[in-house]
Structure formats: structure tokens, C-alpha cells
Amino acid sequence: MGPVFLGVALALFIAFHFYPAFGWKHGWRLWADALDTLVNQRTLLKGPMAATIAIVATFSAGVVFSPFAIPLIRKSLVTRWFIAFFSALIWLGLFFGQLVGGPSMLRAGGICLFFSAGCNFVGILLSRYDGRHQEALRKLSGN
């Protein structure tokens, strides 16, 4: 069931780029504005903006990478939790952003991004783990 959620997450992430999101007419403007921020010499990249760009870029790489790397996700705890961590950060950030900014902040593209993060996180959790630590995990859980 996990690979299905990962595929849906990728489809929703692609849809995010074509719908209005946050203050942009199209979601792909996120990348253009992030690049402008990074290139602009007059704007100092301070705390929240730099962290936001890094988290969104890492999450994006994870969403695009996940459906094609199911065998790696099933064998590697590091890969599994790295992708899940950034999906959870985006998911929680958008959830709390919606609470603060109201539902009109997200718009259609933001909702696609929100559900993409959620599906990616759930897909990672539902992908079974076949790695070398499986026996130790089984003993800890009592199965």
C-alpha cells in the first residue's frame, strides 16, 4: 500500500506546480522566487528563509525520489526516516500555516502540496521494512 501513496504524492506534487498556490498564480513560482532570493546579493539569507528553502527543496527531492526508490526505502532506515522527516516537516508547517493564515492562504496548489506531503509521509510509513535490523525490531515489538 505504501508505493500507491508514494505515487499519489508524486502526482499531487506535480499538480501543485500548475495550480494557484499561496500568493502565486502557479505553484512553480515558488522555485523562481526561491532562486531570486538565493541569487539576489542585496538580500541576506537569514534564518527562516534559508531553512524554508532548504526544507522545501529536500522534501521535493524526496517526493520525486521515493516512488522510484522503493527497494532502497525498504532496506535503509536512514533513507526511510530522512524522507519521512522532511515530509512531516512540510506537512506540519502547512497545517499550522493554514491554522494561522486561514484556508484562503493555501488555495488549490497549496492543498495539493499539503496532501502530497501527507501521502508521502504515510507512504513511507506503510512501506514494509526488510533491512538487517528487522529481526531486532521484531524482538523489541514482541512479535
Total tally of structural domains belonging to the chain: 1
- What are the pLDDT digits (tens) for 78-131? 888 888 898 898 889 888 877 877 766 677 877 888 899 999 999 999 988 786
Look up residue 133 and give its three cell numbers.
535490523
pLDDT score recorded for residue 6: 92
Q: Quote the CA–CA distance of 26 and 117 in Å, as a whole number.
A: 18
Write the DSSP assignment of 95-107 as a string of letters: HHHHHHH-GGGTH
> What pTM does this model have?
0.77
Q: Is the pLDDT of residue 5 over 90?
A: yes
Mean confidence (pLDDT) of the chain = 81
In this structure, what C-alpha cell is assigned to residue 102? 486561514
The whole-angstrom separation of Cα 106 and Cα 98 is 7
Report whether 109 contacts 21 (CB < 8 A).
Answer: yes
Q: Give me the pLDDT at residue 133, please.
A: 66
Look up the domain containing 114 and give its range.
2-141
End-to-end CA distance of the chain: 21
What is the per-residue pLDDT across 8-53, written as a single tens digit (0 to 9) for each?
999 998 998 888 877 777 777 777 777 777 666 565 555 566 677 7
Is the separation of the CB atoms in 30 and 56 below 8 Å? yes
pLDDT tens by residue, 28-39: 777 777 777 766
